[in-house]
């Protein structure tokens, strides 16, 4: 059950923001084995002065179109799957929105299955 947070500088259209979420969901389904309908995303826009990043860290040239994508998900996926996932997102955003691959910043937060409740105050993934 990935939980996705998408952050960007304000000013993009609703369709643009929705497309970011669509690309991420499609990449989750095709590369890291996320089941259908397992889509939980929050998209937040920020004033430019509140969206701070180094424009050249690690030799990557970033612009004000930079998008932060943080995904909390169950631990256990291989490095190969994660690499394919990162590439699918960057390529998908580039193809669909002409977003530069350099402007796609992704962070995964891996947690144990007992750290989720999908409602009703239950830990659905944790055995009783």
Residues 8, 123 contacting (CB under 8 angstroms): no
Distance CA 126, CA 20 (A): 31
DSSP code of residue 124: T
Report CA torsion sign: 43, 13, 106, 56.
Answer: negative
Q: CA-based diameter of the chain, in Å?
A: 49
- Catalytically active residues are 2
DSSP code of residue 121: T
């Amino acid at each position: 059950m990935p939980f996705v947070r998408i952050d960007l500088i304000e000013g993009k259209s609703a369709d643009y923001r929705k497309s970011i979420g669509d690309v991420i969901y499609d990449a989750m389904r095709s590369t890291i084995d996320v089941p259908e309908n397992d889509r939980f995303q929050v998209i937040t826009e920020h004033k430019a002065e509140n969206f701070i990043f180094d424009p050249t860290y690690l030799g990557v040239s970033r612009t004000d179109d930079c998008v932060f994508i943080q995904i909390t998900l169950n631990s256990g996926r291989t490095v190969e799957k994660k690499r394919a996932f990162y590439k699918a997102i960057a390529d998908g955003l580039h193809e669909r929105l002409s977003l530069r691959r350099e402007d796609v910043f992704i962070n995964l937060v891996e947690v144990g299955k007992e750290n989720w409740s999908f409602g009703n105050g239950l830990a659905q993934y944790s055995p009783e």
